[in-house]
Structure 1
Amino acid sequence: MPENTARPKSAKAPGKRSAADSASRGRDTLRHRAATGRRLKAGIGELSTATLQRLDSTLPWYRAMQPADRSWVGLVAQAGITSFVDWYRKPDAPLWVVADIFGTAPRELTRAITLQQTLQLVRVVVEVVEERVPDLGKGDEDQSLREAVLLFSREVAFAAADVYARAAEARGNWDARLEALVVDALVRGESVDALTSRTAALGWRSVGEVAVIVGQAPFRPTPQLTDDLRRSARRVAEDALVGIQENRLIVVLGGAKDFRTAAAALADKFGPSQVVLGPVVPSLAEAGTSAAAAFAGRHAVGGWPGAPRPVSADDLWPERALAGDRVAVRELIDRIYAPLDDAGGSLLDTVTIYLECGNSLEATARELFVHPNTVRYRLRKATDVSGWDPTAARESYVVRTALVLGRLKQQGALSTPSKTSTQGW
């Protein structure tokens, strides 16, 4: 008879036995992991205490923090450990739980500690947990627990980067709006108190002199353009504010060593038309005066075709005066005519005759019955007194305009505003 080769009924197929063994191993893994999870949960307090002690001993910036901020950092660290334990006990749960770690702290904490410091915090927590893995895991669980710690720490690092990126974006949008309000306040001449509080919120630190630059905005200004201009401005000055109003681009510089040089370095960032630098004022509180002069200069700069780029608003006094800027009229009289008139010694008469004689030394000497060297001496003294040289082509035009306006005021045909006024005609 043929040999009976049938398997015993109790025997199982190899495939079924492997599946059963895998399922059994999976159940054992879950039981071990659940047991480890319970030990982790029981040790949360110990882990948190060890973490805070490690933070205090290894991170100088943590020791230097205010007590309230230290408390929030401690809560973040404890929330990270708790979230890891909850996730480890339920490995099938999504890792979105890491986003809740930073929900325990106020938004202001992102200003108290940097992203780099947050990553240092994550590293310390990971080190403390890894050191205690032999006590928390048993046998084969050590490796899986270490891998879980590394995976979770990676997700926490990404979550931290996301939190700081969102905070930076929101802060950037808010700062841009606040900066626009400050620049608008400068243009409209708002109160000094409101201006000071707003600039303090923007982080304005300069206590030095301030000047305003005004020019045409590029045809299609972009946020990248204003950011680039702001960075360039802060290379040549301690602080800078940038604003765009319609087609005008406005830059407020604070604490520059040389404002003319700074304006020249930024001129290429403006549109194709002229760029005007307002007068330097002692502080940001007086920046409205500089802004008003810069706007008046930009309105009148077309009267000087050969004006340099950038041009100072003070160099445009004649054009501004002819365009109706009463502040420019006052400056011409107070800065040029009045000093020459007060100096005596025939300075005013010499300068007047010199200009009327076509800037000729010999003709002026004949009119005054003096030697040409005497005319030269008086002209040099007039330059020292007024700060403007009648013998230079452009400056002689400025001086001539000042003399005309000064004589008109003496005759009562002209009135000038007070020195605190920034309004034109």
Structure 2
Amino acid sequence: MAEAITKRRPPRHHGLSAKTLRQLERATGRLATASVAAMEARLPWFGRLTADQRASVLLITQAGAAGFVAWLRDSKEALKLTTEAFRDAPAELSRWISLRQAVGLVRLAIEVFEEELPEFAVNEAERAALIEGILRYGREIAFAAANSYAAAAEARGAWDARLEALVVDGIVRGDAEESVLSRAAALGWDPSLKATVLVGTPPSDDPPAVVFEVRSRAARVSRSVLLSVQGSRLVVVVGGPTDGTQKDREALGKLSLAFADGPVVAGPTVPSLAEAHHSAAEALSGLRAIVGWPAAPRPARSSELLPERALSGDAEAERRLIEEIAKPLEDAGPTLLTTVETYLESGGVLETCARELFVHPNTVRYRLKKASELTGRNPAEPRDALVLRIALTVGRLARARGIW
């Protein structure tokens, strides 16, 4: 007889009677509505949501209330039930509500439940059990929401990384400007920023570690960057000017510390990302040719590597050597050109050059100064002398081929 009575006795969960659980089930809609009303009254930003978004919050809150009752019935499945009840909520919420705002909604809903739940308890023991239950359930909800937001952030981060790699790859390959610009805009790149491409060797085989290193150094110099690891090379697009103030000039040097030991080459600074493929082409050409200049600075500008680039077959470097050096010297007249050629052939000895030309050394000095003003290269400097010599040689070869 006692066993039969025990079997017929309603089960009790968390110290709650079956009657209380049934009352809670019937009141889930009212509790959810009261929670949303409190959100509208206490949260200023909630009123700015659209009607559809507020309706979504109401449905999510109703699911949470129903999940609370189910959780009370079977606490062993608490985490599973909580996750299932809010499986779709964070994915939808994260589109228009931040994690901080979502946690605020959960906190406010828990407060409303705490205020409303005691009326369903038949005694003090059940009242205490309900309060304890909603606090524990709220904790599970908060953790579930945080995990979902974190997963969404990781997914967005992975997508952003793939999109960023596509942008940098498009710049390197010289893809259509519109496709590159639209993708860069999706990443938050300011289209009015100047752009400079840096290339070198990545400091690690671990891409996340490379990204962290580059971005942390870019943050220190307050620069926007786009980057991609392409096999054995690291390509970084740096936003902003790289000349002018000392701070601007030092930016590339500090960013080059994010690369592995070895050469780093910077292309020219272009007006916007739309022209960044020109900077990338010159930077990559410089990286291939920099082996010819062991004492090159780090980073080296692609314009400083014109002789090595020309010797490696870069037609653009040959064109610039002709237009910037050989042609201005020739246009200045045979006297100036002959003086520069004789000075270079004499090993940079002023007196020897003067004797060869039958002029006073001061005359040679004057002509060399004029040549330096025209070309930006001082024949008395060893590196500039090499550039002048290669430029004049390239010019002669181009003329012999009928190109110039």
Give the TM-score taking structure 1 as reference length.
0.80
Given residue 186 of structure 1, which amino acid in structure 2 is its aligned partner? Answer: I
Match status 1:229 vs 2:214:
yes
User: Structure 2 vs 1, CA of residues 237 and 91 (structure 1 numbering), >3 Å: closer, same or farther?
Assistant: closer
Distance 1:77 1:374 in 2: 91
Higher mean C-alpha displacement, 155-164 vs 388-397: 388-397
For 2:283 and 2:33, how far apart are their aligned partners in 1?
61
**3-state DSSP class of the match of 2:261?**
coil
Deviation of the 1:353 alpha carbon: 4.0
| Alpha carbons of structure 1 residues 317 and 69: separation in structure 2 relative to 1, 3 Å | farther
CA separation in 2, counterparts of 1:342 and 1:71? 77
Distance 1:138 1:212, change over 3 A: same
Q: How do residues 358-369 of structure 1 correspond to structure 2 at under 5 angstroms? A: 358-364=347-353
Question: Matched residue of 1:389: which SS?
Answer: coil
Alignment pair present for 1:159 and 2:144: yes
CA contact 1:240–1:254 (8 Å) conserved in 2 = yes
* 2:179 match: 194
Going from structure 1 to structure 2, the CA distance change for 1:312 and 1:150 (only over 3 Å counts) comes to same
Q: Structure 1 380/66 Cα, relative in aligned 2: closer, same or farther at 3 Å?
A: farther
Indicate how the Cα distance of structure 1 residues 212 and 237 shifts in structure 2: closer, same or farther if over 3 A, else same. farther
- The corresponding residue for 1:317 is 306
Deviation at 1:148, TM superposition (A): 0.7
> How far off its partner does 1:287 sit?
1.9
Q: Is the 8 A contact 1:206 1:239 kept in 2?
A: no
Name the SS for the 2:86 alignment partner. helix
| Alpha-carbon distance in structure 2 between the residues aligned to 1:363 and 1:415 | 34
The Cα shift of 1:79 comes to 2.6
Could you report, residue by residue, the CA deviation over 1:200-238 in whole angstroms, capped at 9, with x for unpaired residues? Answer: 333333531111111123463342233332332344353
Greater alpha carbon shift after TM alignment, 149-158 vs 129-138? 129-138
Shift of 1:37: 3.2
Q: What is the identity, as a one-letter code, of the residue corresponding to 2:190?
A: R
Equivalent residues of 1:206, 1:255 under 8 A apart: no
Offset, 1:129: 1.4
* Residues 400/150 of structure 1: CA separation in 2 closer, same or farther (3 Å cut): same
Cα distance in 2, alignment partners of residues 312 and 88 from structure 1: 68
The SS at the match of 1:306 is coil
**Partner residue, 1:307:** 296
Out of 174, 183, 186, the residue aligned to residue 168 of structure 2 is: 183
- Matched residues, number: 398
Which residue is 1:274 aligned to?
263
Shift in Å at residue 369 of structure 1? 6.3
Report what 1:46 is aligned to.
30
Contact 1:211 1:290 (8 Å CA) reproduced = yes
Mapped to 2, the partners of 1:63 and 1:99 lie a distance apart of 27
| Deviation of the 1:27 alpha carbon | 5.5
Q: 2:229 aligns with which of 223, 244, 257?
A: 244
Q: CA deviation at 1:152?
A: 0.3
Find out whether 1:413 has 2:401 as its counterpart.
yes
Q: Give unpaired runs (5+ residues) of structure 1.
A: 1-15, 417-425
Distance in 2, matches of 1:326 and 1:105, equals 58
The reply on whether 1:95 has 2:84 as its aligned counterpart is no
Deviations 1:78-109 (A, max 9, x none): 33233223333555653312113433447364
Structure 1 residue 380, shift from structure 2 partner: 4.1
Q: 1:186 to 1:264 in 2, by over 3 A?
A: same
Matched, 1:130 2:114: yes
| Change beyond 3 A, Cα 1:256–1:237 | farther
Q: Who is 1:5 aligned against?
A: none
Please give the alpha-carbon distance, in whole angstroms, between the structure 2 residues aligned to 1:376 and 1:56. Answer: 83
AA in 2 matched with 1:100 = E
Alignment of 1:12-161 (within 5 A): 33-65=17-49, 68-88=52-72, 93-105=77-89, 107=91, 109-140=93-124, 141-161=126-146
Question: Kindly tell me: are residues 274 and 111 of structure 1, through their superposed partners in 2, closer, same or farther at Cα, counting changes over 3 Å?
Answer: farther
Aligned partners of 2:11 and 2:43: how far apart in 1? Answer: 42
How far apart, in 1, do the equivalents of 2:43 and 2:226 lie?
A: 35
Tell me the amino acid that sits aligned with residue 45 of structure 1: G
2:117–2:131 Cα contact (<8 Å) kept: yes
TM-score between the two structures when normalised by the length of structure 2: 0.83
Cα separation, partners in 2 of 1:235 and 1:88, compared to 1, 3 Å: same
SS of aligned partner of 1:231: helix
Q: Is the 8 A contact 1:218 1:271 kept in 2?
A: yes
Gaps of 5+ in 2: none
1:328 aligns with 2:317: yes
One-letter identity of the residue aligned with 1:400? R
> Mean alpha-carbon deviation: is it higher for 92-101 or for 375-384?
375-384
